[in-house]
């Protein structure tokens, strides 16, 4: 059995590592903001394929899921019910918006925003988390565009 790693896979690993490092530096620089959530978003946005549409679809999915999580946060319901509603609504939104497999990305963002520790159940925490999800998306987009530009220059 032989193991081979393609150039695209090496670049994917490099992009994910760089994205995680940048988001972690944000987290360390601004400890009052939960930028550790952006690490999840950045690795969900970056893809092994050089498809220029995929990052935008995943960013849209992150924002859709985050907004669904925020909306459900304001509905006074037990967390189990909110969680189930969130999954259902996110899947339906993914189908209607034609997000395809990026619907999983939307669900991750919805969960990041909706599920909070009992002692910090606050709408400001939900807003901070949406901001962190968006920051991870932005970092992922910048890395994707930069690597695409560099790859285009080499050709």
pLDDT digits (tens, 9 = 90+) for 66-76: 999 999 988 88
User: Of 13-17, 113-117, 132-136, where does mean pLDDT reach its minimum?
Assistant: 113-117
Is residue 8 domain-resident? no
Confidence of residue 155 (pLDDT cuts 50, 70, 90): low
Give burial (CB, 10 Å; 0-12/13-18/19+) of 137. buried
User: pTM for the complete prediction?
Assistant: 0.84
Is residue 16 domain-resident? no
Amino acid 126: pLDDT: 83
User: Quick one: average pLDDT of 79-94?
Assistant: 95
Is residue 32 domain-resident? no
How many domains does the chain contain in total?
1
Confidence of residue 116 (pLDDT cuts 50, 70, 90): confident
Is residue 12 domain-resident? no
Note down the domain range covering 92: 37-154
Amino acid 118: pLDDT: 59
Amino acid 121: pLDDT: 64
The dihedral region occupied by 45, where left means phi > 0, alpha psi between -120 and 50, and beta the remainder, is alpha
Is residue 15 domain-resident? no
Is residue 110 domain-resident? yes
Is residue 67 domain-resident? yes
Q: CB-based contacts of 120: which residues, under 8 Å, 6+ apart?
A: none
Amino acid 138: pLDDT: 93
User: Quick one: average pLDDT of 97-120?
Assistant: 86
Confidence of residue 148 (pLDDT cuts 50, 70, 90): confident
Residue with the two structure tokens 């690490």: 39
Is residue 92 domain-resident? yes
Give burial (CB, 10 Å; 0-12/13-18/19+) of 127. middle
What percent of the chain stands above pLDDT 90?
57
Interval 4-63: pLDDT, tens = 998 889 999 999 999 999 999 999 999 999 898 999 999 988 988 766 678 889 889 999
């Amino acid at each position: 059995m032989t193991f081979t790693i393609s150039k695209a896979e090496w670049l994917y690993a490099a992009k994910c590592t760089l994205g995680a490092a940048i988001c972690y530096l944000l987290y360390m620089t601004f400890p009052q903001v939960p930028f550790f959530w952006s690490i999840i978003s950045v690795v969900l946005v970056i893809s092994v394929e050089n498809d220029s549409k995929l990052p935008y679809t995943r960013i849209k999915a992150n924002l859709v899921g985050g907004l669904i999580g925020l909306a459900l946060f304001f509905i006074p319901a037990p967390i189990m019910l909110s969680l189930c509603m969130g999954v259902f609504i996110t899947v339906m939104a993914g189908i209607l918006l034609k997000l395809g497999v990026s619907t999983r990305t939307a669900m991750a963002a919805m969960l990041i925003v909706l599920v909070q520790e009992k002692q910090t159940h606050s709408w400001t925490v939900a807003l901070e988390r949406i901001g962190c999800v968006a920051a991870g998306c932005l970092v992922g987009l910048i890395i994707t565009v930069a690597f695409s530009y560099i790859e285009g220059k080499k050709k």
